[in-house]
Amino acid sequence: MRTLLGLGIVLAVAFGTHAADEKKIDAMKLIGKWEPVKPKKGEELVMEFTKDGKLIVTGSMGEKALKIEGTYKLEGDKLSFVLKFMGDEIKQTVTITKLTDDELEGTDPANKTEAFKKVKPK
């Protein structure tokens, strides 16, 4: 449960809501793998958005490896997702504040901004 709470906080911070006007986001730019620009110590996180609306979160928190799967939907600048983890569901709708070919950014309700960079294919 602690891991679930931690993941929920990470995702909320990553894509927190923002009261700005709704912006049109190019959904194709979201497709791919993203990692935090400034990861927290002891945590690794990669979020993968697929063309068919699936969201896969992989990484580790401390010594625990995790893989969480779910779905997402993008409408305007609103990103809604549902993740299933250890029998629980995380449901959230967040606002994307910046999305380019290489950058993904969001601001949480406390105005904390979290930035992600696109993982380049090897």
Q: Which of 2-11, 17-26, 60-69 has the lowest mean pLDDT?
A: 2-11
Whether residue 39 contacts residue 53, with contact meaning beta carbons closer than 8 Å, is answered with no
Domain boundaries, the chain: 2-118
Model confidence, pTM = 0.76
d(CA 115, CA 106): 7
d(CA 113, CA 88): 27
d(CA 89, CA 99): 26
Residue 108's pLDDT is: 63
Res. 113 pLDDT band, cuts 50 70 90: confident
Coil, strand or helix: which one is 102?
coil
Fold of the CATH domain 2-118: Lipocalin (2.40.128)
Give residue-wise pLDDT tens across range 73-103.
998 888 888 999 888 998 887 788 999 999 9
- Does 3 have pLDDT greater than 70? no
Residue 110's pLDDT is: 64
In sequence order, which residues have a C-beta less than 8 Å from that of residue 14 and are 6 or more positions away? Answer: 36, 47, 94, 106, 114, 116
Tokens encoding 48 = 């993968």
Q: Give residue for tokens 């290489």.
A: 102
Which has more pLDDT, 99 or 24?
99
